[in-house]
Structure formats: structure tokens, C-alpha cells
Chains A and B, each alone.
Chain A
Amino acid sequence: MKSAEVRQEEQLRFAEYMRAVAEQRDKRAFEKLFDHFVPLLRSFSLAAQPGASLLADEVAQEVMIKVWQKAHTYNKEMANVTTWIFTLARNSRIDYLRKNSRHESDIDPTNLWGEIVDENSDPFQAAQQKRSEELISKQLKGLPEDQQNALRKVYLEGKTHKQVAEELKLPLGTVKSRVRLALRKLAISIPR
């Protein structure tokens, strides 16, 4: 696993590539992003739909074209490049899956997940978002493996708690409490 410093440097480099794509339509910078993210995008699709290499291709292509198209809306104060691309990938995967089998639905997801756009960002927010990013990546490593595993299945495989419970042969309540405990430790919980 990469150290925090290495990862931070990597994110800075990605942000530079994004700027080059946005301002100079720099294809070499785009290629760097492509080389790094396409294998991840492919794994992400295959995690939800094993064996569906066509879907993996389509999602990867759609996301990378969006990166090219929307590079100018990316603001590094709002999110790091990986978070931004993760949200594009999630949105794209949702749309492909609803047209196929997994979540067959007539609901148009376009208006349901806002893209992270360059709006009302202030220094305070930027600092806060950086802090939560650091906290999450640090605390995540300290979580018990069973909690990490439950979250990983939800995020990467796109499984509901119920599906995770069935797969792991655990009571639904156990899975739910693992997720709840993990989120609490990551400081993701709503004050009541």
C-alpha cells in the first residue's frame, strides 16, 4: 500500500494533468490519466458485473470522455481527482446497470447524483474537505477487516446490505452494524 505522502504527490500530479487538459487540451496529460484510471475503471465495473467486459469497456470509455469534456469544471479545492473520477464512474455504472439487469429501472439517474462542480467553494470548505479526506484515508486502515470488507462490497460490488449478508451468510443486522460502526469511526454520521 502506498504511503500517505506518495498518494498526496500522486493526487497533485493528477490535478496538474487535469489543468493541462482543461487549459491546453493536452493529450499527453490526458494519456497519463487514461493509463492510470482505465484499469481501475475496468475493475470497478467488473466488480459489480463479473465477466461483463463489454460493460467495462463502455463505462471506461464514457468516463474518460467525460474527463476530457468536463476537465474545466474540475476544481481541486472541492475534491481530489480520484474522488471526482470515482463519482463519474459510479454515475456511469448506475446508468449502464439500470439498462441491464441489476437495477432495472425507468428512473433517470441524471438528476439524482450531482456532479462535483466548481461552485461556491470557499477556503473554509476546501480546508475541511482536505481534512476529511486525510481522516478517512487514515482511519480506514485502522478499521477491523470485517468492517472494511462490508463497505468494500457495498462500494465496489454495488451490493445492498441484504446481498452482502446473504453472501457472507450473516444476519442482516450484523452487516448493518458493521457498516454503521465503520462510518462512525470515519466521522461520517449525522448529528441527531
Chain B
Amino acid sequence: MLKHHPSSELLADYASGSMPLSHSLCIATHLEQCDICRQQAHKLNQLGAQFFMQQSSTATSADNDLKAKVMGCLDEIVFSTDESASDTPKRTAASNKVDSYKPPKALKQFLDDSYDSLEWTTVSPSFKITTLLKDKNGAQIALSRVKPGGKMPHHRHTADELTVVLEGSFSDEGGIYKKGDFICRDSKHKHKPVVTKDAECICLMVLDAPIEFTGWFTRVLNPLVRRNHAQS
């Protein structure tokens, strides 16, 4: 069972759609692994529906125009078949991939079925990073990949950082984080994650501003990360 979940306030921001999409991406990734939070999210949808139905609303003449338009095109609309069912075979068919990982559905926009298909930047012998997107609001969406027992370089958060463990596990002062766990750190936090020895660790990281590494190789690393950042 997972131990690290988003707070219920964060889940409410997700269910209401009020948080940035970059953050919703992390919540959605966690939900794929977490029954408990899926249940909470469902309750939060029910709560949203309460507010939705309490709205004061009056029918207007614009509604009639819209009705004529929509009713007029109903016959041309076919019942949609279930999309998620139709792409399941496609996924299992791609069996020639190297690793056995199954990336989350939430990341489908960025990668299909293998982390190896991404362009990784090697930062240190045990640490790689790839930027999936630098979003319009300045958020950076990245994956980190650390070898078993490897350390993630010390880094400073210039803004809030959300992390979801996709594969493997790591630990820091706060505890041990396993596949599916969700971690939210604010900018004041400086942490030193270490990956457990049994397996490599892949994490989804979302930063509201680009990551900055601290320590002896800062000068080597930051331009690299920045370049990685700029390329996307």
C-alpha cells in the first residue's frame, strides 16, 4: 500500500480543474496507482456536482438557438466506441521493447511504451535526466533516472516541486518512497535523495521553475540542464 499521497486540498484542486495542468499530470499519475485517492477523487467529483447543480441558472434565448443546432446534428453523430479499449492491443503488441516498464497513461502524450525511446542527458555515471516539456507557464516536466544505489545530485528548489515515483524507490530524510508515491516539496526544502540498491529509480518531476543543482559539479550541470530545457 502506498504511503505518500497528495493532500485532500490538492486532490480538490485536481477534481475542480483549478490547478495548473502540470500539477494535474502528477496527480493523475499517482491516481493510476492509488485506489484510496481514486475514491477520494470520486467523492470530490460528487462534491463538485453539488456546487454545479446549486448554480443559479435561467434558460435564455441563446439556449434555444443552441438546441436547434445540436438537435439538428444528432443523426450524424455515431455512438463512440470505447477509446481506451481500442488501444489496449496496440500496447501489448509492442513487445520488442527493452525494459518491462509500463509508463503511466497520463504520460502518453510524451512517450508511448518505453522510457528508452526518450533522449536522456547523462549528468553523472548514475544519473540521467530528460525534459518532457517546458510548459507555457514556465513549469518544467522532467523524468529522472538513477541507477541502483545512486544519488541524485543535490539540488535546490527555486519553486515547488512535485515528484511521483514511476519505478523503483528512493529515500531521503523524510522516509522511503516507492512506486506510485507522491511527494510535494516546497522551495525551502533542500533534500538529498538516494536510490535503494535493488533497482533503478525513475521519477516524474514537475517544477514550477527550472531545477538548479548545488554542489561541486553545479557549473557542469546547470548549463546541461538548461540546454536540455531549451531543446524541448
Which residues of A line the B interface, CB within 8 A? 1, 7, 25, 27, 30-31, 34-35, 38-40, 42-44, 47, 53, 57, 60-61, 64-65, 68-73, 79-80, 82-83, 85-87, 89-91, 93-94, 98, 103-114, 116-117, 129, 132-133, 136-137, 140, 151-152, 154-156, 158-161, 176, 179-180, 183-184, 186-191
Contacts and interface: CB of A to CB of B under 8 A. Distances in A.
Contacts of B50: 136-137, 140
B139 to A, nearest CB: 8
A70 B80 contact: yes
B230 interface: no
B70 interface: yes
B220 interface: no
A117 B82 CA distance: 9
Given A30-B74, A105-B137, A190 B57 contact: no
A113 B46 CA distance: 14
Interface string B5-26: 1011101110111111110110
B118 interface: no
B43 interface: yes
B169 to A, nearest CB: 19
Contacts of B49: 80, 82-83, 85-86
A189 B43 CA distance: 10
A38 B49 CA distance: 14
A113 B80 contact: no
Interface of B: 5, 7-9, 11-13, 15-22, 24-25, 27-28, 31, 36-37, 40, 42-60, 62-63, 66-67, 69-71, 73-74, 77-80, 82, 84, 105-109, 133, 135-137, 141
For the complex of A and B, 3 pairs with smallest distance between CB atoms: A39-B57, A83-B49, A107-B21
A57 B37 CA distance: 33
Nearest to B32: A114
Contacts of A73: 82
Given A34-B70, A69-B79, 18 more contacts: A35-B63, A43-B55, A43-B56, A47-B55, A65-B77, A68-B77, A89-B52, A111-B106, A136-B47, A154-B16, A155-B47, A156-B55, A158-B17, A161-B9, A180-B7, A180-B8, A187-B43, A188-B47
A187 to B, nearest CB: 8
Contact of B52 (A7, A69, A86): A86
Contacts of A82: 49, 52-53
Nearest to B134: A106
B106 A112 contact: yes
A136 B20 CA distance: 26
Nearest to B141: A107
28 contacts: A31-B67, A35-B63, A39-B60, A40-B53, A42-B62, A44-B55, A47-B55, A57-B62, A69-B78, A79-B46, A83-B45, A85-B49, A85-B52, A86-B52, A87-B48, A105-B136, A105-B137, A106-B135, A107-B133, A112-B27, A112-B106, A113-B28, A154-B13, A159-B18, A160-B18, A186-B43, A188-B40, A190-B37
A40 B13 contact: no
A188 B141 CA distance: 29
With most chain A CB atoms within 10 A of its CB, the pick from B8, B20, B60, B136 is B8
A90 B16 contact: yes
Nearest to B22: A107
A94 B57 contact: no
A190 B5 contact: yes
With most chain A CB atoms within 10 A of its CB, the pick from B17, B19, B135 is B17
B13 to A, nearest CB: 7
Contacts of B107: 111
A99 B40 CA distance: 28
